[in-house]
Structure 1
């Protein structure tokens, strides 16, 4: 028997058997309460799970699956799919450049410069008031931009500019620009204040402080996060076409509208191949020199500028200027406010149910997909399966990784379109779409966290004769359960926004009301809904930040940016500025 390893002192001590049992009962009661809350929320949404087995729905699902048996591989259609794939790529590139420019400018004005203990001269009162007002205005603009999902902006710009990729570029620029600017400002305010104070004491201007004291400290982090956004935005560019904003999404919407499931299968396979290729390329670029990455991005930007031909001038046309003031007028209609409040409630319920469902399935798949856990290499004496177990273990690990990869790369909006055809419109389609996508996302995040568990506690349990399951439940899980809970809460915040997106294709939530208001030009209602959405996202973000910080208090954990390789994690806390950028 191997020597018993030293117990990790950071693990909570159990003073008696009764304490251990009491803690176990409390944990069980907590998980049971969470599960019951999910069932209660599911019943409140009115989703009927029996619709999954409805004869008409199963027939529709069978017709969709039959398209994969006979996809449209004609030369003309494949050429169209390739052209739309390139368009999606360029939409993501140009949208990221616009977002980075917008976010950087707003971050410059939103950043608070560290004050000096004994300034040589102070600005006049009117200048201080003006700077404070400018900073507040910049922060409000960042909040508005990132609170409204890309698909809402895209639909608005389609009404303003007409069909085409220009709407998608502007939508990505606004939403992601708000995310980038928020994070850039947070990073700028967290720099070492000594260089800033030294230059400020010498009388340097705000621009000089930004260029010579702040930017050298955060430039690498800014660049890394912008490149991460580029990867996410290219994926977003594949789905915004469902509202007429170009890219592969436009072909998906047309195929479903005209029941051309052979073309739908080809397009979905193209989306899958496109996203997988993008992930492989992204992993390679992260390891390459940053100069190569920036050079390729610059070349792609030039190509996108020429190829997409975004009608920038139409933004300031008479129709656009006439539209905006009407949106600013918020007519108070109590009946409509009651309806909006109900849809906000549905949005929260759908997001919570989808999060719990995906978390439960991801918790099962993550240990199988995590290399150290699936092989038992974290133990000093790894179990050696015999007989059929030698084949089942690698097979289960491979299947887990395949399921996580397939579900992660399919966007929620694409899945929502499929589930609407299967089970009909309503909350059930939205819940299923968000849950299926999050199985892969949360499985990846959970596996990364499980891989970081220290081997000491499970090794100590194994030395006492505990089996593989016991070492996982009582040696690995207690170390990471706080981080798993925090990640689950983080995904709930992301899914609140996702629920607004899937509603645009009839999958329930506030997105359905937004779609109706835009389609019927009920601009007063649209303004109320956008303001409600902004307040909802702000409230969920603030509450989530507070609860997650309390969960992780004393843990010293830095959560990774979702979708990034471990070497690409940024040394910043997971804040609300990253929530809408999950692949």
Structure 2
């Protein structure tokens, strides 16, 4: 008996380990308050009389969309253009991502190879792999709107700037994830081909690709959904699509037209998610065939002056010839960088809090069903209220996830004025939907044993969640939240282009006025900060998930929500 008691005591968590998550939560909340204060974001502006009047005007217009035939025809034409922009941009991104991922992937070697390649060959291969990874990180670090603004200067107004912007940023993201997936494959098949003398290309083609084909396609389809949504907003800088109509509607206070346009965006997102889910369940040839047809249609329909890429004088926008530090300017850039990071962190914490409350309401076993095989039957009124809460929460998360940050930033700039608060609110609202979706998927995957034991003892839904589900998943929730912070750093840069604070405003000014030195400094700063945040995030997520049999959180945080392995994921 004493030995058993001793083993039980060893397994029992200490008071410190039980309190640690709550202490970390308190520190995170305090850091959010500090970031709000230092960035100058005053939440009281939401309830300022002028702001409330603006919000009332926006809401009044949104409740009465413009359904006139002429405007609906215009929205339909712009929707098709946004669809083709996202589709063609994704096809080009897949080409870029595949080429760079092929070069960036490190193929496992035999523990004791019979012969080694020459030293110079190994050095050249290592250098090429490093260059491919650096290029992927560079492309991924620059938000689409920055590329779009640059390409508008090169190609002029139109969809070409949006297509190329999506292709570059998304190509970097796709290549990075695909390379990570390729390096995480089961090594035995790779080593068997290595032992038979197969080349690197042969190993990748016959041992790696068969293992990663499905997750590669799943992630590419997810990026397609994101890119079509992005294609609807890049028009705010003159890059075609629905974004131009969104910007005009807000600029001229035509909120009824804004409502119609946002409804089109929402319909886009829902239909695309349903289509993506169907394509994941069908053979690969369906996806490839539809992608090829869509790309051909886009090339024929979109007016893109490809030849101007090589003739445009705007290529001199970036200049490394004169990067002598200007102390006042560098000080300003560092301050704007700090504001960007604080805005992203505050938005991430606020959205995580809201998602933490709403996500459990969408989990079927927690709210409307049970972890027990034979649960007690609830009263009719209780069942109806629980169903209403579940579907209302899912609708809120879907709606907020469908609205791009840039669109929300334009709305909040009208509501509370320009500055950091508008950017924080825009990113927090959108990120709440994304995190809510991720949190819901993780909660649905929790092991039912502990939760069922609590429900057997009569625990409420809240008690089951806090003590039966949350202890299993808290590390993954924290890891997903960190990943979203990395994404929100780039989103903060983007919303700055419409006056919502951060370093994006300075980028906008530098591009508009052709200040090449300032633009070069700003881009170098932004790429360095994003790379540093990504590296720190990767390290922290690895620590959080150490010992867990899960894939890379970056992959899971993007491809997870809509994969077939999550049948309860809502759309």
TM-score, normalization: structure 1? Answer: 0.89
Matched residue, 1:168: 162
Per-residue deviation, 1:364: 1.1
Structure 1 position 306 matched with structure 2 position 306: no
Which of 224, 241, 247 lines up with 2:241 in the alignment?
247
1:388 and 1:318, CA in 2 relative to 1: closer, same or farther beyond 3 A? closer
Per-residue deviation, 1:306: 0.8
Matched residue, 1:411: 404
Query: Deviations along 1:395-426, whole A, 9 cap, x unmatched?
Result: 11121111111111111111011000000011
Matched residue, 2:392: 399
Per-residue deviation, 1:305: 0.9
What SS class does the counterpart of residue 521 from structure 1 fall into? coil
Which of 345, 349, 362 lines up with 1:352 in the alignment?
345
What SS class does the counterpart of residue 239 from structure 2 fall into? coil
Deviates more, 1:340-349 or 1:186-195: 186-195
Which of 173, 176, 179 lines up with 2:173 in the alignment?
179
Query: Deviations along 1:157-202, whole A, 9 cap, x unmatched?
Result: 1111111110111111111111112222223333455655565666
Query: Deviations along 1:38-57, whole A, 9 cap, x unmatched?
Result: 11111111111111112222
Alpha-carbon distance between aligned partners in 2 of 1:451 and 1:193, rounded to the nearest angstrom: 30
Deviates more, 1:558-567 or 1:85-94: 558-567
1:203 and 1:330, CA in 2 relative to 1: closer, same or farther beyond 3 A? farther
Matched residue, 1:72: 66
Per-residue deviation, 1:389: 2.6
Alpha-carbon distance between aligned partners in 2 of 1:147 and 1:283, rounded to the nearest angstrom: 28
Q: Residues 327 and 526 of structure 1 are in contact (CA less than 8 Å); yes or no, is this contact kept in structure 2?
A: no
Alpha-carbon distance between aligned partners in 1 of 2:247 and 2:365, rounded to the nearest angstrom: 42
Which of 232, 252, 258 lines up with 1:258 in the alignment?
252
Deviates more, 1:71-80 or 1:161-170: 71-80
Q: Residues 328 and 527 of structure 1 are in contact (CA less than 8 Å); yes or no, is this contact kept in structure 2?
A: no
Structure 1 position 234 matched with structure 2 position 228: yes
Deviates more, 1:505-514 or 1:270-279: 270-279
Alpha-carbon distance between aligned partners in 2 of 1:65 and 1:310, rounded to the nearest angstrom: 37
Alpha-carbon distance between aligned partners in 2 of 1:16 and 1:195, rounded to the nearest angstrom: 38
Which of 268, 278, 299 lines up with 1:284 in the alignment?
278
Structure 1 position 30 matched with structure 2 position 27: no
Alignment of 1:379-394 (within 5 A): 379=372, 382=375, 384-386=377-379, 388-394=381-387
Deviates more, 1:394-403 or 1:114-123: 114-123
Query: Deviations along 1:341-373, whole A, 9 cap, x unmatched?
Result: 111111111111111111111111111111111
Matched residue, 1:554: 547
What SS class does the counterpart of residue 266 from structure 1 fall into? helix
1:39 and 1:56, CA in 2 relative to 1: closer, same or farther beyond 3 A? same
Q: Residues 351 and 492 of structure 1 are in contact (CA less than 8 Å); yes or no, is this contact kept in structure 2?
A: yes
Which of 125, 131, 136 lines up with 1:142 in the alignment?
136
1:50 and 1:475, CA in 2 relative to 1: closer, same or farther beyond 3 A? same
Per-residue deviation, 1:209: 4.3
Alpha-carbon distance between aligned partners in 2 of 1:115 and 1:261, rounded to the nearest angstrom: 60
Q: Residues 277 and 564 of structure 2 are in contact (CA less than 8 Å); yes or no, is this contact kept in structure 1?
A: no
Matched residue, 1:433: 426
Matched residue, 2:217: 223
Deviates more, 1:520-529 or 1:468-477: 468-477
Which of 43, 53, 56 lines up with 2:47 in the alignment?
53
Alpha-carbon distance between aligned partners in 2 of 1:464 and 1:209, rounded to the nearest angstrom: 54
Q: Residues 416 and 430 of structure 1 are in contact (CA less than 8 Å); yes or no, is this contact kept in structure 2?
A: yes
1:314 and 1:13, CA in 2 relative to 1: closer, same or farther beyond 3 A? farther
Query: Deviations along 1:238-288, whole A, 9 cap, x unmatched?
Result: 111111111111111111122222222221121112222222222222223
Structure 1 position 110 matched with structure 2 position 104: yes
Alpha-carbon distance between aligned partners in 2 of 1:343 and 1:492, rounded to the nearest angstrom: 17
Per-residue deviation, 1:115: 4.1
Q: Residues 109 and 191 of structure 2 are in contact (CA less than 8 Å); yes or no, is this contact kept in structure 1?
A: yes
1:118 and 1:488, CA in 2 relative to 1: closer, same or farther beyond 3 A? closer
What SS class does the counterpart of residue 138 from structure 1 fall into? helix
Alpha-carbon distance between aligned partners in 2 of 1:67 and 1:563, rounded to the nearest angstrom: 35
Matched residue, 2:476: 483
Q: Residues 329 and 527 of structure 1 are in contact (CA less than 8 Å); yes or no, is this contact kept in structure 2?
A: no
Alpha-carbon distance between aligned partners in 1 of 2:130 and 2:23, rounded to the nearest angstrom: 44
1:323 and 1:291, CA in 2 relative to 1: closer, same or farther beyond 3 A? same
1:465 and 1:435, CA in 2 relative to 1: closer, same or farther beyond 3 A? same
Matched residue, 1:533: 526
1:24 and 1:207, CA in 2 relative to 1: closer, same or farther beyond 3 A? closer
Matched residue, 1:574: none
Matched residue, 1:364: 357
Deviates more, 1:457-466 or 1:405-414: 457-466
Per-residue deviation, 1:28: 3.0
Q: Residues 480 and 557 of structure 2 are in contact (CA less than 8 Å); yes or no, is this contact kept in structure 1?
A: no
Structure 2 alignment gaps of length 5 or more: 1-6
Alpha-carbon distance between aligned partners in 1 of 2:215 and 2:321, rounded to the nearest angstrom: 37
How many equivalent pairs are there? 558
What SS class does the counterpart of residue 185 from structure 1 fall into? helix
1:549 and 1:144, CA in 2 relative to 1: closer, same or farther beyond 3 A? same
Q: Residues 114 and 193 of structure 1 are in contact (CA less than 8 Å); yes or no, is this contact kept in structure 2?
A: yes
Matched residue, 2:440: 447
Q: Residues 347 and 424 of structure 2 are in contact (CA less than 8 Å); yes or no, is this contact kept in structure 1?
A: yes
What SS class does the counterpart of residue 324 from structure 2 fall into? coil
Alpha-carbon distance between aligned partners in 2 of 1:222 and 1:23, rounded to the nearest angstrom: 38
